[in-house]
Amino acid sequence: GAVVSQHPSWVICKSGTSVKIECRSLDFQATTMFWYRQFPKQSLMLMATSNEGSKATYEQGVEKDKFLINHASLTLSTLTVTSAHPEDSSFYICSARKIRPDDIETQYFGPGTRLLVL
C-alpha cells in the first residue's frame, strides 16, 4: 500500500502560537488530500479538502482563517493552526487520495499529529 507521513507526530505549544503540520505522500502523487480532526472517543471529522494548486474547501463550521491549508505540490499539504487555543487540542489526521486503475478511490492516512495547546 501507499505511505503517507505526517510531521510532527506530536506537538505541545502555548496558547496564541501557530503550529504547522505537514502531510506527505511518500510514494505516489496526490492531487487531493484531506484534513481531519478527531477528539477523544469520537470519529474522524473532515475539516477541509486540499487540492493541489488551488484553494482548500472547508467544511461548514471550520474557520478557514484559523486553519490555513496549503497544497503546494503533489506530495505535500500543510495545515497551520493559527493562534492556537486549548480547545484546538486534538488529533489531526491527513489522508491522500489515490485512484485505482478500476476507478475506485482509496485513501491513505497519515499516522496523525497530536496537538496539545496549553
Partner 1 sequence: DAKTTQPNSMESNEEEPVHLPCNHSTISGTDYIHWYRQLPSQGPEYVIHGLTSNVNNRMASLAIAEDRKSSTLILHRATLRDAAVYYCILRYPFYRDNYGQNFVFGPGTRLSVLP
| E strands present in 17-89 | 19-25, 32-38, 45-51, 57-58, 67-73, 76-81
In terms of CB distance, is 49 or 82 closer to partner 1?
A: 49
Collapsing DSSP to helix, strand or coil, 117 comes out as: strand
Among 25, 78, 90, 95, binds partner 1 (CB under 8 A): 95
The nearest distance, CB 29 to partner 1, in angstroms, is 15
Q: Cα(87)–Cα(32) distance, rounded to whole angstroms?
A: 27
Across 31-56, b (16+ Cβ under 10 Å) vs e yields ebbbbbbeeeeeeeeebbbbbbeeeb
- Does 91 help bind partner 1 (rule: CB under 8 A)? yes
Site for partner 1 in 17-56 (CB under 8 A): 32, 34, 36, 42-46, 49, 51
- Does 104 help bind partner 1 (rule: CB under 8 A)? yes
* Contact yes or no for 88/105 (Cβ under 8 A): no
In terms of CB distance, is 19 or 32 closer to partner 1?
A: 32
Footprint of partner 1 (CB under 8 A) = 1, 4, 6, 32, 34, 36, 42-46, 49, 51, 57, 91, 93-95, 97, 99, 103-112, 114
